[in-house]
Structure 1
Amino acid sequence: MDDRSWIFIEDRVNNPYFEKCLNDFLKFAYKKKEVGSRIYCPCRRCKNSERRKEETVRAHVTMKGFLTTYTNWIYHGEDPWDFNQENMNNGVFRRIENDDMNELIHETLGRTLEENSNINLEELRGACDEETNKFFKLLKHAETELYPGCKNFTLLSFVIKLLHVKSLCRWSNNSMTILLELLKEVFPENELFPSSYRDAWKIVKDLGLSYHKIHACPNDCLIYWKETEHETFCRKCGTPRYKQIVKQSDDSSEQANKVPAKLVRYFPLKPRLQRLFMSSKIASLMRWHEEERIKDGKLRHPADSLAWKHFNDRHPSFASDPRNVRVGLAADGFNPFKAMNNKYSTVHWKHADWEI
């Protein structure tokens, strides 16, 4: 099923084409499953978080719609890396030369690969500032073979793919650590190989995947932030902020370290945007919507839309500076004929469960 345009159809009820495509999807999902078993429901409400029977999945998808961001059906038996048949014929994992680790590292530094090619690395090494040390550490991991003679993976590319699998398959941190301990025995020659989930995270954290932990009410009433930062009970429903965990001591019971009942993870957008503007080439592309876009009244770019113009009318001070970014668009401002690419998307990584 290479054509997946049907998942965007809004007129779904009594639509023969949609019903045919949905039936093909369900046949694919149940290809290796027993009749009557449950599968993850890909409707826009369940979002692959609930297992349901076939008829329920059919009803949900028809009434609520198929999750439009779910184009690689990893929860229903598809290759987690790529559904493109050419890549599947070449194997699940791509080789080192196709992993773009060097491009990823240079983008993390805040410059394009072409700009960094003109940098004197010895001068950078002599500067010894924090950013430079991070850069050379990432380069070292990107050049370290997973084991002597390995041609398919470096340490960095392998750890990134392993963390990707952890996220896709919803592994726990403990299961990840157990696997890494086993692999550490398999690759004893690589002294840098992580032996725990925490060590693996340390290898990739300098790529800019950090986040802030914020305590939240278990009933989703509020987050403990700013004026509620120091409160211990939800001001709306009265639910305790912390789990009631008590440890026993020799003399009496004393409260253990406070464990939040619920955590949310905030991924700061500002550092990501700052990194993009550090590159003169990318910065000019982000201003393309104002400086180079053809303004003849035709709809070629989101900046030509009525919604964009309405926003400009309501916020003239914001609109006056073309560097300002409208977060509602994944690739806001970019030249759609050249630079629009998912690596610039603010929601490119799915790693919400990578907790330290």
Structure 2
Amino acid sequence: MSKPRQDTAYQDGVEQFLTFAYRDIPRDSEILCPCKKCKNRLNHSHDEVRTHLRCDGIIQGYTTWVHHGEMYESPQFAFVDVPTDTTNLPTSGVSRAPAVQDGMQELLQAAFFRNEMFESLPSMSEGVVDVESGFADMEQTVAEDVHPADDNAKESEQNLYERYLKDAHTSLYPGCKFSKLSFLVNLYHLKCLNGWTQESFTRLLGVLSDSYPPHVDLPKTYYQVKRIIRALGLDYVKIHACPKDCMLFRGSSAKKDFCDVCQSSRWKDFKKNGSTIRPKKKKKPAKVLRYFPLIPRLQRLFSTTKTSDDMRWHEDGRTKDGKMRHPADGEAWEDFNRRYPKFAADARNVRLGLASDGFNPFGNMSSKHSTWPVMLVPYNLPPWICMKQTSLLLSMIIPGPDSPGNDVDIYLQPLIDELLELWKGVQTCDASSRKKFPL
């Protein structure tokens, strides 16, 4: 429907759109009209929508019909179209499901930054910021979510990638539409969406393991699945904080035991019979900030063709008629472009909005507790995508029990450091152009 309105192909596209929009509803129903005048705000009948589209044209950039029943694939599962290459994988004794396009290979390539996605580039590691090294002094999430005994045998990244790639091309059982890897990813996704406890998830795995043939070899516990999922996702780091919100124990202060401002201990003290004692076992921090590094998350958005194209929508797909529909149409956006023309010259440079608010995570309003998540909104995306839950970026979780108040700037320090690094430019691979660019 990007053709001229007089073109036969455009007329056929209008009919295809109407057929799709009315596939599940009566013909005499009214739907939102996506013409350039109605802009999905006014309802009209079948014939009126056809007339509007033929006379006025469809909204520029409205290619995913989310207002008419088409589901938008969230960034986690929208992957670059890369030819499947399994020549190096063993084929004896396993059943393949080549017709199933579940995106697992592309997920692996994005998670492990494989340079098969960018054949024209000599190396993916050259010039890419090592985010993990920037948080070398921080606690890793393994201590909280996975038993340390589970990580005894550490595999090299190459062997881990090859093992996961094999599971991504191995059917769960003959005739199953799921591969071993996609089954675990979807099962864990359901666990997160529905709030299943770790114990209930482990019991479900036990039932499934007993139900399937022995060669399926599913993980038996939540922690085994967690180890697999952690290698695919984007991890977070734990940064100790002063219990009075004075400072973060990071950088040059990472090894200190007391706050530089109020001299409070970073460790929890226990009281027994009115006296304060220090625990003999491993010390527990009094307050922990959970921080989700931003740079690898932004780089992941450009590792697939779909999300990479969407990140340029504000420049390439937006209707520029002077009307306010998106932050890119506002005066503040234009003023920023005038002040920093070098930044505005590349539409792939990311514009972020920041939002935060406190809530009681325990659901009991009689108890006083306030935890503050900090969210980032990528405004490069179209308006029907950028405000979806799957598009929001969780930057950090500021712990309670009290609101940080004016000390919130203390907790924003890691984010500000990364934003300053991004302002200088971080080498990132663009799946659409198959080239590197400074993000």
The structure that is strand-richer by fraction is 2
Greater RCO structure (CA 8 Å; 6+ sep) = 2
The structure that is helix-richer by fraction is 1
